[in-house]
């Protein structure tokens, strides 16, 4: 090569150039296909979050769903009873700090607390070995739909109609008619009332996961945190009070920590593991894994939960995802929501600025 050989030009130069061009185009097209550019109908995490955003409105800096909430802090004290089902050191015993968030579903951070009869509780357990467990639970027994596509369709069907800017009841009705799996959820929500307090609610994982024990055996579970605080009953907020939940929480914490029991519900053979619309019978064996103790609360504008993405696939060893497709879809969509709000937080070019004083 140091003394270049003079070769005759190859035969069919045009054909050779065409071949090179073809190879480059094919590789680029394959990449475009994998990246979803050739299939605009593909349900991507971005489209999912766009639908949520259309529904909840544009609120820079806030989560795209469960936008209104409050940070809480405390610890988890393991009972040791779950250690034979999961190899995670989290359950062996002792205390693990938690950073939590109590919230309302929906994308509007200014929604009235009474606007929705569901509250949610997210927790991040920070294990001593650097592992984390993140879970987002809801105070409801089942999820309305079983697939990401159905969740997207539900969000669009119950969101504002592009034509009028208002939700269209006919579209919602048509969705529920064509999705019989929503029956259990609809039956429950008909009688559900907005709770007056975060602290006397039971929050459920709804999605099923697997515990993996020290012998490598896996056990399908769902979990819930069950309050020690007795039901408040009536005595709801004064009429017109739209932000009573935070005030109630602060008042109660001033009197002392509030506690929930983390209960693991073990599936019986044949229980649906991959379908969050189907509840398991009430008589399933439950194991009290320990107590979640919450002793502090902070506004989310500057609290430690603000920059936490409660991605349900972040699990320590000893807990694994199941085949429930909602779990992975939540992870994918949360990542988009997290990038959008951290980008707004960090004033990245092209992002809307958060209203600093209101968060």
Partner 1 sequence: MSRVDTFHPVARVLHWLMSIMILTMLFVGAGMVTSVEAKHEWLLSIHRPLGITIFILALIRLGFRLTHKAPPLPADMPEWQKLAAHGSHWMLYGLMILMPLIGWGMLSAGNFPVTLWSGFQLPPILPAGPALYAWLREAHRYLAWLFFLTFLAHMGAALMHGLIRRDGVLESMTGRSND
By CB under 8 A, is residue 213 in contact with partner 1? no
CA–chain centroid gap for 274, Å, is 16
Q: Does 73 bind partner 1 (CB under 8 A)?
A: no
One residue of 113, 181, 248, 345 binding partner 1 per CB under 8 A = 345
Cβ-based nearer residue to partner 1, 25 or 186: 25
Q: Which of 59, 66, 347, 353 is catalytic?
A: 66
Question: Rounded CA gap, 136 and 313, in Å?
Answer: 10
The Cβ of residue 59 has, within 10 Å, a number of other Cβ atoms equal to: 22
Site for partner 1 in 28-67 (CB under 8 A): 28, 30-31, 34-36, 42-46, 48
Cβ distance 298 to 248 under 8 Å? no
Tell me phi and psi for residue 69, to 5 degrees.
Answer: -170, -175
Distance CA 243, CA 238 (A): 10
DSSP calls for 49-72: HHHHHHHH---TTS-SSS-EEEEE
Number of residues in contact with partner 1, rule: CB under 8 A? 61
174 binds partner 1 (CB under 8 A): no
Q: Binder to partner 1 among 62, 175, 223, 338 (CB under 8 A)?
A: 338
Q: Tell whether the torsion through CA atoms of 240, 242, 244 and 247 is positive or negative.
A: negative
Q: Which residue number, 136 or 227, has a Cβ lying nearer to partner 1?
A: 136
Q: Which is nearer to partner 1, 36 or 257 (CB)?
A: 36
**Is 266 strand, coil or helix?**
strand
Whether residue 91 contacts residue 289, with contact meaning beta carbons closer than 8 Å, is answered with: yes
Q: Is 17 in the site for partner 1 (CB under 8 A)?
A: yes
Known catalytic residue at 66: yes
Instruction: Name the token pair of 284.
Output: 């399933």
State in angstroms the smallest separation of the CB of 340 from partner 1.
9
Q: Closest separation between CB of residue 75 and partner 1, Å?
A: 18
CB-based contacts of 55: which residues, under 8 Å, 6+ apart? Answer: 106, 107, 155, 158, 159, 160
Q: Give the interface segment with partner 1, choosing from 20-28, 238-246, 255-263, 292-300 (CB under 8 A).
A: 20-28
* Selection from 200, 212, 219, 214 nearest residue 285 by Cα: 219
User: Which residues in 253-312 contact partner 1 (CB under 8 A)?
Assistant: 306-309, 311
Q: Between 266 and 321, name the residue whose CB sits nearer to partner 1.
A: 321
Give the torsion sign (CA, 285, 261, 193, 328). negative
Cβ nearer to partner 1, comparing 348 with 352: 348
- The piece of 136-144, 155-163, 255-263, 324-332 that touches partner 1 (CB under 8 A) is 324-332
Per-residue tokens: 158: 């119950």
Provide, rounded to whole angstroms, the least separation between the CB of residue 118 and partner 1.
22
| Contact partners, residue 73, CB within 8 Å, separation at least 6 | 97, 98, 99, 100, 294, 295, 296, 297, 298, 304
2 binds partner 1 (CB under 8 A): yes
CB of 163 to partner 1, least distance (A): 27
Which residues from 132-151 bind partner 1, rule CB under 8 A?
132, 148
- Residues with catalytic function: 66
Residues that bind partner 1 (CB under 8 A): 1-5, 7, 10, 13, 16-17, 19-20, 23-24, 27-28, 30-31, 34-36, 42-46, 48, 129-132, 148, 306-309, 311, 313-317, 320-321, 323, 325, 328-329, 331-333, 335, 338-339, 341-343, 345-348
């Amino acid at each position: 090569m140091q003394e270049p050989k003079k070769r005759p030009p190859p035969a069919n130069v045009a054909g050779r150039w065409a071949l090179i061009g073809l190879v480059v185009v094919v590789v680029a097209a394959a990449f475009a296909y994998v990246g979803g550019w050739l299939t605009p109908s593909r349900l991507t995490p971005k489209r999912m979050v766009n639908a949520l955003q259309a529904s909840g409105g544009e609120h820079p800096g806030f989560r795209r769903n469960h936008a209104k909430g409050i940070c809480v802090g405390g610890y988890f004290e393991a009972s040791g009873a779950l250690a034979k089902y999961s190899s995670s050191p989290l359950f062996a015993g002792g205390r693990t700090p938690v950073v939590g968030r109590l919230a309302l579903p929906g994308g509007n951070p200014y929604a009235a607390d009474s606007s929705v009869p569901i509250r949610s509780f997210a927790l991040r357990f920070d294990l001593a070995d650097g592992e984390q467990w993140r879970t987002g639970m809801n105070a409801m027994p089942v999820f309305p739909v079983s697939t990401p596509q159905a969740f997207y369709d539900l969000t669009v069907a119950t969101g504002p109609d592009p034509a009028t800017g208002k939700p269209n009841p006919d579209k919602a009705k048509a969705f529920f008619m064509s999705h019989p799996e929503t029956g259990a959820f609809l039956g429950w929500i008909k009688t559900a009332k907005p709770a007056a307090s975060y602290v006397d609610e039971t929050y459920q994982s709804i999605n099923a996961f697997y515990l993996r024990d020290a012998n490598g055996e896996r056990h399908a579970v769902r979990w819930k945190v069950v309050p020690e605080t007795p039901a408040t009953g009536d005595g709801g907020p004064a009429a017109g009070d739209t932000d009573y939940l935070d005030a109630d929480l602060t008042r109660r914490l001033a009197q002392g920590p509030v506690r929930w029991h983390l209960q693991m519900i073990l599936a019986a053979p044949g229980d649906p593991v991959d379908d969050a619309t189907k509840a398991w019978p009430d008589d399933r064996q439950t194991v009290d894994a320990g107590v979640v103790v919450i002793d502090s609360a902070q506004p989310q504008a500057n609290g430690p939960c603000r920059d936490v993405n409660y991605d349900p696939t972040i699990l320590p060893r000893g807990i694994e995802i199941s085949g429930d497709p909602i779990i992975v879809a939540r992870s994918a969509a949360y990542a988009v929501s997290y990038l959008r709000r951290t980008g707004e937080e960090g004033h990245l070019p092209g992002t809307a600025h958060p209203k600093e004083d209101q968060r």
